[in-house]
Amino acid sequence: MFTRNSGTSAEVGSEWPAVVVAVGILVLLGSVLVTATARWTAADLKDIIGSLSPVLGVITGAFVTYFFTRQAAASANGAARDAADNAAKAAETTRTQLESRTEELQTQLQRTQALHNALSVALGLADETAGQKMREDPAISAVLEQR
């Protein structure tokens, strides 16, 4: 059957390194800003923050993109796995139904051939008058005309 592990160790174990890196970068930027605040004047601090604002913007955007797209990607992968499992189950069900119907068709075809052979033997064993009456019967003539 089809099984799915919703929380594998690779998915769970890969979360903490990203968080450690993100916190490390934030601590580094925070320490740079705190050190700059302690050492320089307000005008110099304004220049440093102005210089670092594009970097802060890029880092903030990277954090948001990384952490929110990971969840969306994981959801999309889960949905794709579910869809693939459902498609495989549907294909298996269809294959099983097709095999069953093929077997039924083969059985019916064999029965039809046996009935045809029995009718041919019955017409051959009957005398001429009985054979003619049988051929004139609507049910028998309908079968004989289909050949």
Domain count, the chain: 1
How far apart CA 33 and CA 30 sit, in angstroms, is: 5
Which pLDDT does position 89 carry in this prediction? 96
Q: Identify whether 121 is part of a domain.
A: yes
Q: Identify whether 3 is part of a domain.
A: no
- Residue range(s) defining the domain that contains residue 125: 9-145
Q: Identify whether 118 is part of a domain.
A: yes
Q: Is the pLDDT of residue 90 over 90?
A: yes
Q: Identify whether 73 is part of a domain.
A: yes
Q: Is the pLDDT of residue 146 over 70?
A: no
Q: Is the pLDDT of residue 147 over 70?
A: no
Q: How many CA atoms lie within 13 A of 20 on its CB side?
A: 5
